[in-house]
Amino acid sequence: SSPAQGGCRGTHAPLLLETSSRPDEAPSPRGVLIKGSTGSQADRSMGAEASVEIKRAAPIMPVPVKLHVYDLGHSGEMRAMNSVLGAVGTGAFHCGVEIYGREWSFQSTPRGSGVFSCVPQHCQSHNFRTSVSMGFTRLSEVEVLRLLELLRRDWHGGSYDMLTRNCCHFSDELCRRLGVGPIPWWTTSLADAGATVKAAYDVAVDSLYPTLLTGCFAGRPQHKPAVQGPVFVK
């Protein structure tokens, strides 16, 4: 099972091997600590009674995940536009996901990964608008960092697309991987609508051009002046 699924079973936490530098304690290879009753190696060799102490890992406590939503850029016009678009359940937004005290998002870069982090609610390129509680994840901080490293490899800055692969799409995938997704539909609805229109436009252009449109232009005769040389107007 995945780490998130394993973390849900608090009563079946994995065993930990506890080691000690004391000469009267010897760790078992199965994760069970065996302590001698007299503290003497000689006593243990003579069959001294031993007690068994089992140490279990503490269950991972649920950690909150938040989605921070921004108006694109810093212009008042964009904030006003989003207020209008919000009435119909959409808008043009930047999104980032807060987990373990950092906010993670995605941006266009000429090279390398486009994944970056910042102080929660303080992305310098956009105006903070609101936060959405996404629930709780049971992934540990180490597991989250490993997940982000995998995402860094997949989300190259050069693959950024305003309509089909932007910060909101990254935030949606991260939330799904954390077990709390998807993000609210209104954060991506405008971009998704634009992507649909663009896809329809591309299909139409591919269908019409160059067969029809080229024929319309290429089939036209090249009109030349009937009179060569200067034209005199009487």
The catalytic residues are 94, 167
* Cα–Cα distance measured from residue 221 to residue 75, given in angstroms and rounded to the nearest whole number: 51
Angle at 215 between CA 214 and CA 221, to 5 degrees: 110
Beta-bridge mates of residue 27: 33
* Cα–Cα distance measured from residue 215 to residue 11, given in angstroms and rounded to the nearest whole number: 73
